Structure 1
């Protein structure tokens, strides 16, 4: 078909040119014969015929051009539409990958070369940007070492502490080059929420059952101790003494256990948060009035800062205040033997416009072996501690939609980071 169109177009053009040549030849012969001089009418007719032939030739050339262009015009829109569709699909796929709710990485495995890890979307770039993963190279090494087609859990250090993430790896080949596609989803917040819920249920069941048993023991032991006064004259002196001591010990111990278990019950009975717009500068002023005098009384100091001063937060003011008081109480105890003890509470906006509150002291800090356990209910390193202070802090912060982590401080001391 293409060859036929290519043949017909020159043929038509050749016919038009022959017609024009014939017309020109006729006019030349007529002029040479002197007919045009003798007959003005013939001259006019020849001129009209020439104009007519020229018009026919022009229309033929125009039709030839249109006929030659029509197949291209008929083909070009379809091709352009197909190309535009492919471009739109590629852009849509790129947008979906860029905003996928997981971090995507590509690992290039060139033979004889070091495996190269590349972030593919916004979540991946944020994960390895300054302020999140403290050692991106360590994270890359862990990704390269993950097995293909099997999910696994990894942990990496961040400015808020160790964060755990679920990893899945797929192997593929692109243009003959071996690659791996890695999907990484941080799940620390979800795991923390599930752990809190499990502890809350466990504490609720234990305290309920223990209280049901302790309450009658405490009541009956106190009643028996009171009845002993009516029987003293009928019992030997040594028996009276032994019974009095035993019943008093049972009563006191049962009463102490009731109070002890009651304090743990508070972990499972935290009331729902009543969020309100709170100016952090006002909150810090109230907390400073409560705790700063005790620090100054022993030669230390407590400082508070908000940057910018207009920072506000939608949170339950009472619960956040209690969480800060608990953290500051721990800092006060941890720095008891430190000369010039100091604690600083600061609030600022972190990466991603997330509000961050740091509580930093200059005490001995938390040993690395204990960091993973400090928020666990019942766990304590204090001789007189009950192990609910930091557990309550985590519960209160979590109820308000935040997280609290222990972060390794650059200098000496402990650093707790609250993030909303």
Structure 2
């Protein structure tokens, strides 16, 4: 528009006299108007928003790729509608020829809901157990599942052999304690009978009967550990259950000048479990704690705490702790072995039954060392 005005002014100047004042004023105004329009256009161009720069390409992470490739866990990515994708060398080795007997069956095991479980892998060397952990995540709006597989057959075999060796040692000790006097008295009984020593024979027979009864009771205890009853699961509010346990065990603790405390946080915590079996577990732990806390010279008043809370991952956590001497260092793994005991007159059955029942209820039980001393058993469901 400014250029048109300038041209018009120039044309007018060609027709009219060039020294006309009116024409000169018009030309000056046209020039000023053109400059104003040009400046406005330049200003608008300068203030227009610039388009955003393109996203830079992703920075390669060779260190992360190398760590993933050489991770000791076999990792797969699972996306709906696609076969599992091996993410590292450990995963590729598992499905390579000479390792998995049925790669298709192995890959089918990976298609599981998020969680952690023990699975059995069909390999060319036989069945092997492994821990399978599956987690769900969303990447760029797409639903993924990440599966991690860790073979543990060798570790389980080692632990099983150790457990069997410990159990055989305990069984041998317990059985020989009864069988040695039984065999000795049985061998001397005919001589007592021939000598007519009726009183000695009667005493020997009474001892035989007593040791046989002890051996029978031992077998019954073994049966209770090896054949726990099947649980009957139902939704169970934990606060009433723990309060019932408190009422059952409190008299014995109060008789020893002790106290029992119960905490459930939040108060409406519930668990799908067998209430009777879980109650038995807590009673066994409370009895063990009382026996450990009492009978020591100058021991403080015994205290027992039973607490139910939610831990990370919405897992329910039950802790039973006391202020006693705690478990002797180095024995943490042996205290759950059937018939293993460090207490005079102890049966060694209580904690073994606890572990069997908790496992049957779908949980785990561990001993945790407390900074302030005492024993602490953690049940996780």
TM-score tier by shorter-chain length is 0.5 to 0.7
Find the residue that maps to 1:339 and give its secondary structure: coil
Name the CA distance, whole Å, in 2 between partners of 1:275 and 1:240. Answer: 58
Matched length: 234
Name the CA distance, whole Å, in 2 between partners of 1:293 and 1:107. Answer: 62
Structure 1 equivalent of residue 262 of structure 2: 304
Larger-gyration structure (1/2): 1
1:417 equivalenced with 2:378 (yes/no): yes
Return the structure number with greater helix share. Answer: 1
Which of 223, 230, 238 is equivalent to 1:272? 230
Task: Please report how far the alpha carbon of residue 251 of structure 1 lies from its aligned counterpart in structure 2 after TM superposition.
Answer: 1.2
Task: Assess if the C-alpha contact under 8 Å between 1:106 and 1:120 holds in 2.
Answer: no
Unaligned ranges ≥5, structure 2: 1-63, 76-92, 95-129, 132-147
Structure 2 equivalent of residue 87 of structure 1: none
Q: Give the alignment's TM-score, normalised by structure 1.
A: 0.47
Structure 1 equivalent of residue 287 of structure 2: 329
Structure 2 equivalent of residue 349 of structure 1: 310
Map Cα deviations across residues 165-215 of structure 1 (whole Å, 9 max, x no partner). 98xxxxxxxxxxxxxxxx774969x959x959x87xx89xx89xx8xx99x
Name the CA distance, whole Å, in 1 between partners of 2:369 and 2:201. Answer: 55
Name the CA distance, whole Å, in 2 between partners of 1:120 and 1:243. Answer: 70
- TM-aligned CA distance change 1:306 to 1:393, over 3 Å: same
Task: Please report how far the alpha carbon of residue 328 of structure 1 lies from its aligned counterpart in structure 2 after TM superposition.
Answer: 0.7
1:404 equivalenced with 2:365 (yes/no): yes
Task: Assess if the C-alpha contact under 8 Å between 2:74 and 2:149 holds in 1.
Answer: no
Q: Please give the root-mean-square deviation of Cα atoms over the aligned residues, in Å.
A: 4.5
Which of 193, 204, 217 is equivalent to 1:259? 217
- TM-aligned CA distance change 1:187 to 1:397, over 3 Å: farther
Structure 2 equivalent of residue 388 of structure 1: 349
Name the CA distance, whole Å, in 2 between partners of 1:376 and 1:187. Answer: 21
Q: Any residues of structure 2 matched to 1:93-112 within 5 Å, and which? A: none
Structure 1 equivalent of residue 328 of structure 2: 367
Find the residue that maps to 1:328 and give its secondary structure: helix
- TM-aligned CA distance change 1:185 to 1:358, over 3 Å: farther
1:243 equivalenced with 2:204 (yes/no): no
Map Cα deviations across residues 351-408 of structure 1 (whole Å, 9 max, x no partner). 1000000111111111221111111112110111111110100000000100000111
Name the CA distance, whole Å, in 1 between partners of 2:65 and 2:374. Answer: 39
Which of 274, 280, 286 is equivalent to 2:244? 286
Name the CA distance, whole Å, in 1 between partners of 2:255 and 2:269. Answer: 30
- TM-aligned CA distance change 1:106 to 1:296, over 3 Å: farther
Structure 1 equivalent of residue 274 of structure 2: 316
Map Cα deviations across residues 281-312 of structure 1 (whole Å, 9 max, x no partner). 11111101111121122211110110111111
Structure 2 equivalent of residue 339 of structure 1: 300
Task: Assess if the C-alpha contact under 8 Å between 2:339 and 2:347 holds in 1.
Answer: yes
Task: Please report how far the alpha carbon of residue 242 of structure 1 lies from its aligned counterpart in structure 2 after TM superposition.
Answer: 2.1
Map Cα deviations across residues 49-74 of structure 1 (whole Å, 9 max, x no partner). xxxxxxxxxxxxxxxxxxxxxxxxxx
- TM-aligned CA distance change 1:107 to 1:293, over 3 Å: farther
Q: Give the alignment's TM-score, normalised by structure 2.
A: 0.52
Name the CA distance, whole Å, in 1 between partners of 2:289 and 2:323. Answer: 9
